């Protein structure tokens, strides 16, 4: 009981300490978020119901059977183009569902991190801080730390719906082609990170052709990188489901509207290739 109280206190301090650094959603995304409960959907699930981490997962079904694709936004709260794009997709498919098959969207996966514009949430003292980073918690655990539980809930959605593609929408500091060898981790913007299996390899070529055809400046063009980082969502999906598995990365150095547009273009390529649009 004392440990749970201390952890709850840590979460409250985290929320208060981030109060001045919150990202303000674009007006379009704010309106979508306010109306999430009124959108027409085939089904909606509350992941981690009854906890501070509770967040909705939306299921949109087509008129005919077909492939299933899962789209995750808000894995990292300080990567807004990902969840801005995911919220727009929820609105879009609420108005007009897929032609066939099934689209599952979790727009605000790490809700507390999104609300506080943070990469991760805090964990108890002495625990690896990456246990608060949803994208380092796969495979998840039903009785683990909160983000391990969220990873487990997302896994179950993917498994139960037999997804053929897993898309995780992210951001980085700068474009990949702005080479900075001393800080490669921050230079992942404008990349598609893919699991090196047959379903992913085919799709990544299609995505690169499409996205780079609409980008004039060479340093802003997309590249592909193999092998998602261990314990990430795309790493898990590629290894455990053997499905097409991707992390999309746009750079925060570009305007937000441009980054959102790139995320949506990449998603559309996958959905069209899978026959959902």
Dist CA 170 CA 4 (whole Å): 31
Q: Which of 6-15, 99-108, 171-180 has the highest mean pLDDT?
A: 99-108
Task: Give the residue among 160, 174, 191, 202 at the shortest CA–CA distance from 263.
Answer: 191
Assigned token pair, 214: 């609409």
Dist. CA 140–CA 163, nearest whole Å: 17
**Best CA proximity match to 98, nearest among 141, 59, 129, 132:** 59
Beta bridge partners of 247: 168, 193
What's the pLDDT tens digit per position in 65-88? 999 999 999 999 999 999 999 999
The domains of the chain, with CATH numbers, are 2-273 (3.40.630.10)
Q: Please, which residues bridge with residue 167 across strands?
A: 71, 246
Q: How many Å is the Cα radius of gyration of the chain? A: 18
CA neighbor of 138 nearest in space, from 75, 191, 200: 75
Give the single-character DSSP code of 228. Answer: P
CB 108, CB 144: distance < 8 Å: no
More confident residue, 38 or 193: 193
Mean pLDDT of the 226-248 span: 97
* pLDDT tens by residue, 51-68: 999 999 999 999 999 999
d(CA 41, CA 44): 7
pLDDT of residue 185: 60
The strand pairing partners of 69, in sequence order, are 103, 165
Distance, in Å, from the CA atom of 150 to the CA atom of 183, rounded to the nearest integer, reads 29
Three-state secondary-structure class, residue 154: helix
Write down the pLDDT at residue 7: 52
Cis peptide before 139 (omega within 30 of 0): yes
Position 228 confidence tier, pLDDT thresholds 50, 70, 90: very high
- Strand ordering across the sheet containing 55-61: 43-47, 55-61, 100-106, 64-72, 165-172, 244-251, 191-194, 223-226
Q: Crossing angle, helix 80-95 and helix 256-273, to 10 degrees?
A: 50
What is the mean predicted confidence (pLDDT) over 101-119?
Answer: 97
- Which pLDDT belongs to residue 39? 81
pTM: 0.91
Phi-psi label, residue 74: left if phi above 0, alpha if psi -120 to 50, beta otherwise: left
Higher pLDDT, residue 18 or 229: 229
Rounded CA gap, 197 and 22, in Å?
Answer: 38
CA distance 18 to 70: 30
């Amino acid at each position: 009981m004392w440990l749970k109280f201390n952890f709850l206190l840590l979460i409250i301090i985290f929320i208060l300490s981030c109060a001045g650094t919150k990202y303000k959603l674009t007006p379009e995304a704010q309106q979508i978020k306010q109306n999430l409960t009124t959108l027409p959907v085939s089904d909606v699930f509350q992941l981690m119901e009854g906890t501070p981490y509770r967040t909705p997962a939306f299921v949109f079904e087509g008129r005919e059977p077909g492939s299933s694709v899962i789209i995750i936004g808000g894995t990292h709260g300080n990567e807004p183009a990902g969840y801005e794009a995911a919220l727009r997709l929820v609105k879009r498919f609420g108005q007009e569902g897929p032609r066939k098959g099934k689209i599952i969207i979790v727009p605000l996966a790490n809700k507390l991190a999104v609300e506080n514009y943070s990469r991760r949430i805090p964990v108890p003292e002495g625990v690896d801080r990456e246990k608060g980073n949803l994208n380092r918690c796969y495979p998840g655990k039903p009785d683990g730390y909160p983000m391990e539980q969220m990873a487990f809930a997302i896994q179950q959605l993917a498994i139960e719906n037999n997804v053929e593609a897993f898309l995780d929408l992210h951001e980085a500091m700068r474009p990949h082609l702005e080479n900075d060898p001393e800080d490669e981790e921050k230079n992942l913007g404008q990349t598609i990170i893919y699991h090196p299996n047959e379903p992913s390899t085919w799709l990544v070529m299609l995505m690169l052709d499409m996205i780079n055809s609409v980008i004039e400046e060479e340093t802003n063009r997309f590249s592909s990188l193999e092998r998602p980082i261990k314990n990430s969502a795309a790493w898990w999906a590629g290894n455990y489901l053997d499905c097409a598995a991707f992390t999309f990365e746009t750079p925060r150095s570009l305007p937000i509207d441009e980054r959102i547009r790139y995320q949506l273009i990449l998603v559309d390529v996958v959905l069209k290739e899978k026959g959902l649009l």
